[in-house]
Amino acid sequence: MDDHTELTITLPDGYRAYARLWSANPSRGSILFLHGIQSHAGWYERSAERLRDAGFTVLQPDRRGSGRNQADRGHAESSDQLIDDAFACADVLRQRTGHPKTHLLGISWGGKLITAMHTVDPARTASLTLITPGLFPVVGVSKPEMFRIGLSMLSAPHRLYDIPLNDPELFTSLPEQQRFLADDPLQLHQATAGFYLASRRMDKTCLKLAAAPQVPIHLMLAADERIIDNEKTQAFVRGLNWRTSAITTYQNSRHTLELDRDADAYLDDLRDWLLDPTGFISK
């Protein structure tokens, strides 16, 4: 069968967003797979295929203004808009599979978004998989740049600012994957003042996760991490004290686990975790 089907999803405000659907028939569950601030669905074909082959139906939308979505490049109006977009994608999965709850999987900035989703409407979550999530970044815009972004919100919310993650070595140690990232024409290199403010406001929503109902949660980290703070992220997840939780760290990888040396182990763990969260043992 075909690897995936390309879809256009109409978001709540009418924006038409590109997505990839990896269908399993029969489907044991549905997974909403959300990418990072710069990436898009095309970075994560191996994991989507692995999960489809395990019996899950996987939806990988490109966030508005990123990936194959050219309209309003790099922009979002608010954190609520981004969260509503993600729930609209979850609705597509529910309509296609009949599963009332969705496994939420978020990579990097996408990990922030799925955390906010569960905080806002936990009744729709089957599990949370946080892959090098952008909850506590160590790379970000400078304070002077953030001041300029704040000023732009008053008069020019669509003004673009560089995303400070343009070095492929931040994401992977493998030269061939670094070339893949450097040559990627769909990678997002700038975001608007509006998007930056929306992201900052989403941080406050994410910090309320401890008050949300428990679901199985897995935090997957890279030992050679250069973008997020592993120590703070682990402390945050451990502090939840949720019954079904796991933390797995990959010793030979940087931020984008799928594109580095531990990729096979990571992909096996991702599949095994989602197949049986209660029986999964962190290695």
- Residue 144's pLDDT band, with cuts at 50, 70 and 90, is confident
Neighbours of 271 (CB within 10 A): 17
Q: Which DSSP string corresponds to 166-216?
A: --GGGT-S-HHHHHHHHT-TT---EEEHHHHHHHHHHHHHHTTGGGSPP--
**Helices and strands counted in the chain (H then E):** 8, 10
CA dihedral 133, 31, 67, 228 (to 10 degrees): 10
Which pair of structure tokens corresponds to residue 173?
């140690």
CATH of domain 5-279: 3.40.50.1820
- Residue 5: its pLDDT value, please? 96
- For residue 61, with 0-12 CB atoms within 10 Å meaning exposed, 13-18 middle and 19 or more buried, which class applies? buried
Could you tell me whether strands 125-131 and 29-34 are parallel, antiparallel, or unpaired per DSSP bridges?
unpaired
Give pLDDT tens digits for 6-34. Answer: 999 999 999 999 999 999 999 999 999 99
- Smallest CA-to-CA distance from 61 within 35, 23, 91 is with 35
Closest CA to 203 of 236, 170, 176, 243: 236
At 243-267, the pLDDT tens digits run 999 999 999 999 999 999 999 999 9
User: How many Cβ atoms from other residues are within 10 Å of residue 169's Cβ?
Assistant: 13
Per-residue pLDDT, 283:
64
Token code pair at residue 157: 């919310």
Query: Tens of pLDDT along 33-61?
Result: 999 999 999 999 999 999 999 999 999 99
Quick one: pLDDT at residue 1?
43
| Domain edges within the chain | 5-279
CB 121 within 8 A of CB 84: no
> What distances in angstroms separate CA 100 from CA 82, 200, 233, one per listed residue?
21, 30, 29
User: pLDDT of 71-112, one tens digit each?
Assistant: 999 999 999 999 999 999 999 999 999 999 999 999 999 999
pLDDT tens figures, 103-121: 999 999 999 999 999 999 9
pTM for the structure as a whole: 0.96
Contacts of 172 (CB under 8 A, 6+ apart): 178, 181, 253, 254, 255, 256, 259, 260
